[in-house]
């Protein structure tokens, strides 16, 4: 009896164990899934970080082929020279044929230049030249010799027309002669020219100079005003051109080219304006 009961109990326990195995396996399988997912997630993090780090490096440091192109036109010296070939003799000849503007001398001015450059407007935009018409009466031994002509220059070059008059046309004066010089100038002298003229007048006591100007050059500047006062102190007579002076200059120094000249409508008004300013400066 006892053995039968024992055998029955062992059979029941083995049945319970066998019935529990599928359930325990299922539970173990389900419980292991989150752990495996977590492990897989954790293991994938370093790989993702490494990939992101490598991709960022690639963006920051492009491929050598992209950086291989050199920067073009980086030297300003080369760009400023243009497309000229220094080894080409024809280019050198062309450069020699186009020198900077120089002082030009002659007998008569173009009518176009006179009407534009001598107009006595207050704001002389675009008038970057100085036109100087001169008359020199040389007296000695009862005879009088007269020299007439004109000079023109560019303000960007040196010397200006005022200085060029003394270096090119009247480099020296003979002490036994007397020189009476009259200028009709498109604008009054700059600071440097005023200083040069004053120096010449102080050294040549036998010269008398009268400057008739169409308009005042930058007369608001203190150094310009001081230069004009220095001219007066050296014996130079400064005057503003009247409408009649423009007519005289046209008849004496201009090539009419079939044209006639009538003073501008505002010539008298502008003369009065500049004459008042010059009087204030020289007083």
Q: Beta-strand (E) ranges in the chain?
A: 104-106, 109-110, 129-140, 143-154, 178-185, 207-213, 237-240, 254-255
* 158 and 195 Cβ atoms separated by less than 8 Å: no
3-class secondary-structure state, position 143: strand
| Residue in 101, 54, 140, 109 with CA at minimum distance from that of residue 251 | 109
- Pairing assessment for the beta strands 109-110 and 254-255 based on DSSP bridges: parallel
| Residue in 146, 211, 132 with CA at minimum distance from that of residue 178 | 146
Q: Taking the CB of residue 64, how many other CB atoms lie within 10 A of it?
A: 7
Catalytic residue among 162, 226, 255, 280: 162
**Nearest-5° angle of CA 44, CA 46, CA 48?**
65
Residue 141 backbone dihedrals phi, psi, to 5 degrees: 65, 30
Q: Between the CA of residue 166 and those of 146, 163, 207, what are the distances in Å? A: 16, 6, 12
- Cβ neighbours for 281, distance < 8 A, ≥ 6 positions apart: 219, 225, 228, 229
248, containing H or E segment: helix 243-253
Q: Any catalytic annotation for residue 152? A: no
* 213 and 188 Cβ atoms separated by less than 8 Å: yes
Catalytic residue list: 162
């Amino acid at each position: 009896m006892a053995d039968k009961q024992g055998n029955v109990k062992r059979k029941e326990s083995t049945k319970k164990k066998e019935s529990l195995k599928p359930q325990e396996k299922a539970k173990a399988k389900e419980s292991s899934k989150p752990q495996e997912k977590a492990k897989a997630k954790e293991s994938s993090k370093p790989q993702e970080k490494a990939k992101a780090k490598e991709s960022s490096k690639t963006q920051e440091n492009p491929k050598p082929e992209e950086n291989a192109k050199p920067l073009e036109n980086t030297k300003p010296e080369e760009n400023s020279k243009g497309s000229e070939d220094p080894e080409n003799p024809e280019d050198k000849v062309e450069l020699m044929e186009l020198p900077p503007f120089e002082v030009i001398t002659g007998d008569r001015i173009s009518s176009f230049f006179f009407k534009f450059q001598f107009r006595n407007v207050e704001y002389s935009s675009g008038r970057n030249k100085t036109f100087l018409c001169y008359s020199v009466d040389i007296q000695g031994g009862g005879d009088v010799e007269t020299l007439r002509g004109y000079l023109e220059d560019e303000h960007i070059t040196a010397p200006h027309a005022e200085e060029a008059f003394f270096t090119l046309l009247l480099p020296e004066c003979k002490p036994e002669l007397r020189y009476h010089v009259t200028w009709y100038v498109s604008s009054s002298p700059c600071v440097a020219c005023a200083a040069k003229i004053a120096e010449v007048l102080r050294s040549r006591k036998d010269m008398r100079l009268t400057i008739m100007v169409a308009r005042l050059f930058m007369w608001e500047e203190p150094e310009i005003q001081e230069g004009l006062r220095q001219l007066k102190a050296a014996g130079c007579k400064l005057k503003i051109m009247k409408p009649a002076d423009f007519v005289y200059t046209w008849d004496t120094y201009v090539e009419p080219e079939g044209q006639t000249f009538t003073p501008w409508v505002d010539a008298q008004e502008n003369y009065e304006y500049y004459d008042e300013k010059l009087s204030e400066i020289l007083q």
